[in-house]
Structure 1
Amino acid sequence: MIYDAAHEPVWPERRQPFTGLAKSAKMRKENHIKAHKCASSVLQEALHGSRREFRKALWSGQP
């Protein structure tokens, strides 16, 4: 699930339909969509926090 959620923003042109992803994960489509949204949300939040920390470190001059 996390791999699918991380793969999507990196290669949006290679996005696969949820039906195929759910089948490969042996999950129901609805449950897969909910879990995918949750994993995507966590990854986006981590990315946003990393960007903010990088920006602070870049402009403050501290490593």
Structure 2
Amino acid sequence: MLRSHPKPAPYDEPVRVGAVLPESGVEYHEAPPQYGDTPYRYTVIGGDPVLVDPNTRVIKQVIK
């Protein structure tokens, strides 16, 4: 379980795997340790924590 979240990013589309996040306005952080050694980064979109590929800005996992 995640203990603290970054500031939610502005995003008006449905939060789903495969969605592409905007180029600006999104803060990316190292993924929490429970996700192991991953190339993905962590952010919050619309109140939902997500793992994102920082190179493509594609959501890879929505954390519920």
Shorter-normalised TM range: under 0.3
TM-score (norm. length: structure 2): 0.21
Structure with the largest fraction of strand: 2
TM-score (norm. length: structure 1): 0.21
Q: Select the structure of larger CA radius of gyration.
A: 1
Structure with the largest fraction of helix: 1
